[in-house]
Homo-oligomer: A and B are copies of this chain.
Amino acid sequence: MLNFDFYNPTHILFGQGRIADLNKVIPAEAHVMLLYGGGSIKQNGVFDEVVSALGTRKFTEFTGIEPNPSYETLMKAVEVVKQGGIDFLLAVGGGSVIDGTKFIAAAALFEGDDPWAILEKRGNNITQALPFGSVLTLPATGSEMNSGSVVTRKSMKAKMAFSSRYCYPKFSVLDPTKTYSLPVRQVGNGAVDAFVHVMEQYMTYPVNSPVQDRFAEGLLLTLIEEGPKALAEPENYDVRANLMWCATMALNGLIATGVPQDWATHMIGHELTALHGIDHAQTLAIILPSMLRVRKEAKRAKLLQYADRVWNLRDGDEDTRIDAAITRTQDFFEQMGVKTRLSDYALDASHISPILSALETHRMVALGEKRDVTLSISQQVLEMSL
Question: In chain A, residues 207-241, which have Cβ atoms closer than 8 Å to a Cβ of chain B?
Answer: 208-211, 213-215, 217-219, 221-222, 225-226, 238, 241
Cβ of A178 to closest chain B Cβ, rounded Å: 14
CA distance A1 to B241 in the complex (A): 7
| 8 Å CB contact of A12 from B6, B14, B218, B249 | B6
Interface presence of A23 (CB below 8 A) = no
Chain A: residues with Cβ within 8 Å of the partner, total of 41
A41 in the interface (beta carbon within 8 A): no
Q: A6-B12, A11-B7, A14-B258 are in contact. Are A226 and B210 (CB under 8 A)?
A: yes
Which residues of B are found within 8 Å of A242, using beta-carbon distances?
1, 208-211
The answer to whether A214 touches B214, judged by C-beta atoms less than 8 angstroms apart, is yes
- Nearest-CB residue, chain B, relative to A4: B14
Contact of A238 among B16, B208, B213, B215 (CB under 8 A): B208
Q: Nearest-CB distance from A307 to chain B (Å)?
A: 18
Interface contact B7-A257, CB-CB below 8 Å: no
Minimal beta-carbon separation of A248 from chain B (angstroms): 9
A11: chain B residues at CB < 8 Å are: 5-7
| A263 close to chain B: CB less than 8 A | no
Contact B1 A16 (CB under 8 A): no
Q: By the criterion CB–CB under 8 Å, are A211 and B2 in contact?
A: no
Residue A302, interface by CB 8 Å: no
A352, B257: Cα distance in complex, Å = 45
Which residue of the partner chain, among B210, B226, B246, contacts A225 with CB atoms under 8 Å?
B210
**Which single member of B3, B12, B226, B246 contacts A15 (CB below 8 Å)?**
B3
Contacts of A209 in B (CB 8 A): 242
Q: Does A166 contact B (CB under 8 A)?
A: no
Q: Shortest Cβ distance from A332 into chain B, in angstroms? A: 16
In the bound assembly, the distance between CA atoms of A11 and B9 in angstroms comes to 9
- A8 contacts the other chain (Cβ, under 8 Å)? yes
Interface contacts beyond A210-B222, A245-B257: sample of 18 additional A-B pairs, CB < 8 Å, sorted by A: A1-B241, A1-B245, A2-B15, A4-B14, A4-B15, A5-B13, A6-B11, A7-B10, A7-B12, A208-B238, A210-B221, A210-B225, A211-B218, A213-B218, A214-B219, A215-B218, A217-B218, A218-B218
26 A/B residue pairs, CB under 8 Å, sorted by A: A1-B14, A1-B15, A1-B242, A3-B15, A3-B16, A4-B12, A4-B15, A5-B12, A5-B13, A5-B14, A6-B11, A8-B8, A14-B257, A209-B242, A210-B222, A210-B226, A210-B242, A211-B249, A214-B218, A214-B219, A214-B221, A214-B222, A215-B218, A218-B218, A245-B258, A254-B254
